């Protein structure tokens, strides 16, 4: 079986307008080179997708995506942005169900499933996020929450759709807090997710990223676990030097079970 790619995903959240995005790209591009099997993904605010896509154009290892989309292609949804619109300005991916969307904006499992299905239908790769809150973790409900969040997406998709889906496990208590899951904690939930996928014959197809206060200092520690296919990073992706350093540290650390990475081929 082919290795799943090693993915470094930058979620800029509500940071970097078009001018800042261009300036980031100018600084970042010379700091990294394409490596086989490694992908660098950027999720800027919607208004910066076009500028960033243009600025990063020509790098086959880099892809730009949206942070959120509506499931309808157009219509009376004030403030909404549709998948064809973000695709027109260069997005090839979209985050779906990030915990800030779920918990600050009240996005439901059902909406997450609709957005995932709509993205696939439009030919855009959904990066679907799941994760438990601190209260859910403390209440011993981590497994139950993850299984529930996955179930709504699994129900909405066909088996063959899973070739084009990426998942991220992001414990809500670790996002922007400086607290990390340990590599063992993260690996354990990644295993749980794979087991759930396995019950639907999709165990090995889907890359699973880890997110939550990942930085250049801890990325190597986390990526020693073969269960992690990459990282989804907020705060530490905003500065080009810091992000390039994180990508470099993570790439060096990653050892794939089948012998890929470790020393990455140029
Ligand atoms: P953080 O955010 O790296 O700032 O914790 C991660 C995320 O929300 O995707």
DSSP at 3: P
**Cβ atoms 98, 115 nearer than 8 A:** no
Helices (H), 62-182: 83-88, 99-104, 109-121, 134-138, 142-156
Q: Is 98 a catalytic residue?
A: yes
As a whole number of angstroms, the distance between CA 245 and CA 252 comes to 11
* Atom 6 of ligand 1, residue of closest alpha carbon: 234
Q: Which residue has the higher pLDDT, 184 or 179?
A: 184
How confident is the prediction for the chain on average, in pLDDT? 93
**Cβ atoms 73, 83 nearer than 8 A:** yes
Ligand 1 atom closest to residue 233's alpha carbon, by position in its atom list:
3
Report the pocket of ligand 1 as residue ranges, CB < 6 Å.
11, 170, 175-176, 211-214, 232-236
As a whole number of angstroms, the distance between CA 35 and CA 77 comes to 41
Buried residues in 186-199 as b, exposed as e (16+ CB within 10 A): bbbbbebbbebbee
Q: Is 265 a catalytic residue?
A: no
Whether 48 has a pLDDT exceeding 80, the answer reads: yes
Contact partners, residue 214, CB within 8 Å, separation at least 6: 180, 222, 231, 232, 233, 236, 246
What's the gap in Å between 234 CA and the centre of ligand 1?
A: 4
List the one residue out of 79, 12, 85, 81 whose CA is nearest residue 52: 12
What's the gap in Å between 75 CA and the centre of ligand 1?
A: 31
* Atom 2 of ligand 1, residue of closest alpha carbon: 234
**Other Cβ atoms closer than 10 A to 126:** 28
What's the gap in Å between 95 CA and the centre of ligand 1?
A: 12
Q: What is the reported pTM?
A: 0.94
Angle among Cα 23, 167, 34 to the nearest 5 degrees reads: 40
Task: Over range 183-193, report the average pLDDT.
Answer: 94
pLDDT in tens, 189-242: 999 999 999 988 877 879 999 999 999 999 999 999 999 999 999 999 999 999
**Other Cβ atoms closer than 10 A to 214:** 30
Q: Which of 70, 98, 100, 136 is catalytic?
A: 98
Q: What percent of the chain has pLDDT over 90?
A: 86
As a whole number of angstroms, the distance between CA 262 and CA 148 comes to 35
């Amino acid at each position: 079986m082919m290795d799943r790619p090693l993915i470094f995903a930058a979620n800029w959240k509500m940071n970097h307008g078009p001018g800042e995005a261009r300036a980031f790209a100018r600084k970042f591009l010379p700091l990294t080179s394409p490596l086989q099997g490694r992908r660098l993904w950027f999720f800027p605010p919607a208004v910066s997708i076009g500028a960033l896509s243009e600025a990063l154009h020509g790098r086959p290892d880099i892809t730009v995506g949206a942070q959120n989309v509506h499931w309808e292609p157009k219509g009376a949804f004030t403030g909404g942005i549709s998948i064809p619109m973000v695709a027109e300005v260069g997005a090839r991916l979209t985050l779906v169900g990030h915990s800030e969307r779920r918990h600050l904006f009240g996005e439901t499992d059902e909406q997450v499933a609709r957005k995932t299905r709509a993205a696939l239908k439009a030919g855009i790769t959904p990066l679907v996020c799941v994760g438990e809150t601190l209260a859910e973790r403390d209440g011993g409900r981590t497994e139950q929450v993850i299984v529930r969040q996955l179930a709504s997406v699994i129900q909405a998709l066909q088996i063959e759709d899973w070739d084009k889906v990426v998942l991220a496990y992001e414990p809500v208590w670790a996002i922007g807090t400086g607290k990390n899951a340990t590599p063992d904690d993260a690996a354990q939930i990644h295993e749980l997710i794979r087991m759930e996928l396995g019950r639907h014959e999709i165990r090995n197809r889907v890359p699973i990223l880890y997110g939550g206060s990942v930085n250049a200092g801890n990325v190597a520690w986390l990526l020693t676990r073969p269960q992690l296919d990459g990282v989804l990073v907020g705060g530490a992706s905003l500065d080009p030097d810091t992000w390039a350093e994180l990508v470099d540290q993570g790439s060096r650390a990653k050892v794939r079970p089948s012998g890929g990475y470790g020393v990455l081929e140029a």
